[in-house]
Amino acid sequence: MDLTHAVLSFAVLGALLTITPGLDTALVLRAAVTMGRGPAFATALGVGAGALTWGAAAAVGVSALLTASHVGYTILRVAGAAYMIYLGLKMIRGAKAGAHQDEPKTQKTFLGTFGRGLLTSLLNPKVGAFYVAVLPQFIPAGESPLLVGVLLALVHDLEGIIWFTAIILGAGALRRHLARRKVRVAVDRGTGAVLVGFGVKLGLSSR
């Protein structure tokens, strides 16, 4: 398998995984509906930065070391689970109280929403485990594992940004309807429930 074939094959797998509904999609959609395009794009960039960091770490073997270390993995898993549950409960409480209309301005800044996406991605060790399991299969013999690994991570990241852009623009086109109070409350509750669910699942998983 040459480099071109490897990149194209990985791109197909990455695209299928990207469009599969999950935590990242829920976060970006929630930001688009409740805060607008700017915060949604910041959230998407944060998620992408976290995934790219995991991909680069896997390429140099850091993630492999983490997944081999039971203690290291457990610490990161518990921290990630706690953060997701905290964030999910916060959204659910905010929706119940209608607090999304009075959300602190700091959460609507680029750094605030970017940080939310980044932390959610970085504190999910299963992202790193995915790259560790998948990247080696797409690195051609004789090629630099670091350079090819980073290249593949960039391809996956680009696909994610394209997918998130489509979601954000779609939500923007329907924003007049989606911005209604009932819809925004439902989105906050739904996203919060997804976060809590992911957090509980991550917390209870052994690997």
Q: Percent of the chain beyond pLDDT 90?
A: 16
Specify the pLDDT at position 206.
Answer: 59
Tell me what the pLDDT averaged over the chain comes to: 78
Specify the pLDDT at position 109.
Answer: 74
Specify the pLDDT at position 73.
Answer: 66
Sign, CA torsion 99/106/122/178: positive
Specify the pLDDT at position 61.
Answer: 75
Nearest to 84 by CA among 5, 10, 176, 195: 195
> What's the pTM value of the predicted model, to 2 decimals?
0.70
Query: What would the mean pLDDT of 134-142 be, rounded to a whole number?
Result: 78
Specify the pLDDT at position 193.
Answer: 79
For the segment 44-91, what is each residue's pLDDT rounded down to a tens digit? 999 999 988 888 888 777 666 666 677 766 776 787 678 778 777 877
Tokens of 170: 């779609």
Residue 175 has pLDDT above 70, yes or no: no
Specify the pLDDT at position 180.
Answer: 64
The H-or-E segment that residue 2 falls in is none
Tokens of 149: 């690994």
Q: 34: domain range?
A: 3-204
Specify the pLDDT at position 107.
Answer: 47
Specify the pLDDT at position 95.
Answer: 61
Specify the pLDDT at position 147.
Answer: 85
More confident residue, 140 or 68: 140
Q: How far is CA 54 from CA 57, 112, 170, 176, in A?
A: 5, 21, 28, 37
Residue 10 has pLDDT above 60, yes or no: yes
Interatomic CA distance for residues 101 and 34, integer angstroms: 9
φ/ψ of 6, rounded to 5, equals -65, -45
Highest mean pLDDT among 41-55, 177-191, 193-207: 41-55
Angle in degrees, CA 27, 175, 41, rounded to 5: 40
Q: How many domains does the chain have?
A: 1
